[in-house]
Structure 1
């Protein structure tokens, strides 16, 4: 049972858009999304339920001295998704279960409730798509998966300009500490830490963080290797990583993209990647493994977005991921 203090019930008003008709070939995402409470989730025979859950929090960003505003990201991501046409099959059902929010700056408690919510989704055999919110979403998301998959090796593929391997300071965990926290958890439990970061920028990470990546066994693909000449090698690295684990959790920090196409993020970067054929090839490689069980889209900051450019980018990732789930990307 999820506490109603940290849990915001889903609203159909979050999903509004154009209506061209009610025929299956005409409907858009806002017409197909069903509203349901987390506690009412259950498996559906012959159906794969995709579960939207918001993480309405930017407390981790604030603690990490980033630009606040991403707490409203889940609402704008839903709005950006609403008008997208439905191209996935009828076997894929979209459900919205509401938001987990940070109350009075209590990120730690919100993360615990997020973990509970993710465990409920996994228990119902759903595929979670978590809408951020700051990148502190990772800790609660991962721990929720581990609650129900304790005997499985879960690998995390993080599309990000940053390693997010910082040590928590006096203010506690933040948007840059999630993978350090998970690495420590793995060390304490005697498990291997399976982490692949894609899009890493040298100008966005200190030498200490590169040293920490080496120390923790973090694998990474630098931003300069995501080009037409080296994309085959990057795809192979994803395939090799996927072979080492039982399940994959994908995290998309929108600051991995160039600020030219993603201005509305908490920590914009000028030298990021673009949403082009090379990015799609990497996305395809992830889903082609057949092991992707969960994903999140993080760090959308509507306060700094231009013409909803970044929100639409996040929505495109979700749209393509729905297709990739069925091998149609």
Structure 2
């Protein structure tokens, strides 16, 4: 799996010293792009147009322009066939059959990309696709070998019984972690995802909109998170450093970043289904992704919830351009220039 290696202890180095210690040893540098044109997990249509909007805006070529050493392969889009669920119907899960089938197909594609020794970048699509991307990654490693930075205005920790909408883009984390397994009924068409990760391997950045049930779970399990107050108080550099210390102190785990574009303030990314004022600036979002890349452990990325059907032409252009900058930072782009 594509990643830079480091065994430095985050807590023993200043941020600048830590970054200078990186990039001493590399493995293969392949990148695999997979589009997930999917909006059945959201309450609004349009995120199915996200992958092509990013491609049409030149994303692939711009990644290739970062360095002559970057090998990028576009694996096309995920396609799936519906499998009807058996047994009793599960209430309050809108489009369950679609969500299950799409994520199962995505997990298989992510596994294929990692087998090709490439870093998977999943272009969403709504945030329910994180179930498939993380499941596909975890098949190649032990449950505790993967950690996740969840960059989002929302914590996405609802279940079928707690969700106010039934939209599954607000539930992916609860489907992935063992602590909440008992909160779910048995769902045969989702059994393949196997909730084996621990909440201790997740950390959230950018939170500013959580439901009552989610807040209870945050308190019950001592969830790692940094909300917008923390960012305002500490600054984005310290927040990212501490977030990584919490989930990957010795730098031995692979890092997955699941980046919801609504983590950014609507001033920078308004073409998304659930925007929340008071979010990250674009500079903070890019810096966060640069720091994730510089750890040498970044192995995969989701970029989700870009919705080209929402907002005016300028909104769409700004949102797509912001998403491209986030992705390029994950691929090693340097704002002072690339060689």
TM-score of the superposition, structure 1-length normalised? 0.75
Give the corresponding residue for 2:52.
75
Structure of higher RCO (CA pairs closer than 8 Å, 6+ residues apart): 2
TM-score of the superposition, structure 2-length normalised? 0.73
Aligned counterparts of 1:212 and 1:142: Cα–Cα separation in 2: 21
Which of 28, 33, 36 in structure 2 is aligned with 1:52?
33
Superposition deviation, residue 58 in structure 1: 0.7
**Structure 1 spans left out of the alignment, 5+ residues:** 1-45
Superposition deviation, residue 254 in structure 1: 0.5
SS in 1 for 2:67: coil
1:87, 1:323 within 8 Å by CA — same for their partners in 2?
no
Q: 1:318 to 1:305 in 2, by over 3 A?
A: farther
Give me the CA root mean square deviation: 2.9
2:125, 2:306 within 8 Å by CA — same for their partners in 1?
yes
Q: Please say if 1:235 is aligned against 2:240.
A: yes
Give the corresponding residue for 1:321.
330
Give the corresponding residue for 1:248.
255
Q: 1:190 to 1:112 in 2, by over 3 A?
A: closer
Aligned counterparts of 1:68 and 1:191: Cα–Cα separation in 2: 30
1:235, 1:281 within 8 Å by CA — same for their partners in 2?
no
Structure 1 runs (4+) deviating above 6 angstroms are 170-173, 185-190
1:165, 1:176 within 8 Å by CA — same for their partners in 2?
yes
- Aligned residue pairs, count: 277
Residues 57-206 of structure 1 aligned to structure 2 (within 5 Å)? 57-61=38-42, 66-82=43-59, 84=62, 86-101=64-79, 105=95, 106-150=98-142, 152-169=144-161, 174-184=168-178, 192-193=198-199, 194-201=201-208, 204-206=209-211
Q: 1:100 to 1:217 in 2, by over 3 A?
A: farther
Q: 1:135 to 1:102 in 2, by over 3 A?
A: farther
Q: 1:69 to 1:288 in 2, by over 3 A?
A: same
Superposition deviation, residue 229 in structure 1: 4.8
Superposition deviation, residue 228 in structure 1: 7.7
Superposition deviation, residue 77 in structure 1: 1.3
Q: Please say if 1:282 is aligned against 2:288.
A: yes
Q: Please say if 1:300 is aligned against 2:311.
A: no
Superposition deviation, residue 247 in structure 1: 0.9
1:165, 1:213 within 8 Å by CA — same for their partners in 2?
no
SS in 1 for 2:239: helix
What per-residue deviation string (whole Å, max 9, x for no partner) do you get for residues 217-244 of structure 1?
4211101222485334313313302226
SS in 1 for 2:258: strand
Give the corresponding residue for 2:319.
310
What per-residue deviation string (whole Å, max 9, x for no partner) do you get for residues 146-165 of structure 1?
11113652111011000000
Q: Please say if 1:224 is aligned against 2:229.
A: yes
1:164, 1:179 within 8 Å by CA — same for their partners in 2?
yes
Aligned counterparts of 1:173 and 1:145: Cα–Cα separation in 2: 24
2:224, 2:243 within 8 Å by CA — same for their partners in 1?
no
SS in 1 for 2:169: coil
What per-residue deviation string (whole Å, max 9, x for no partner) do you get for residues 165-205 of structure 1?
0002599771010111111378687753311110000xx21
Aligned counterparts of 2:211 and 2:167: Cα–Cα separation in 1: 19
Which moved further from structure 2: 75-84 or 217-226? 75-84
Aligned counterparts of 2:276 and 2:292: Cα–Cα separation in 1: 24
Superposition deviation, residue 73 in structure 1: 0.8
SS in 1 for 2:58: helix
SS in 1 for 2:127: coil
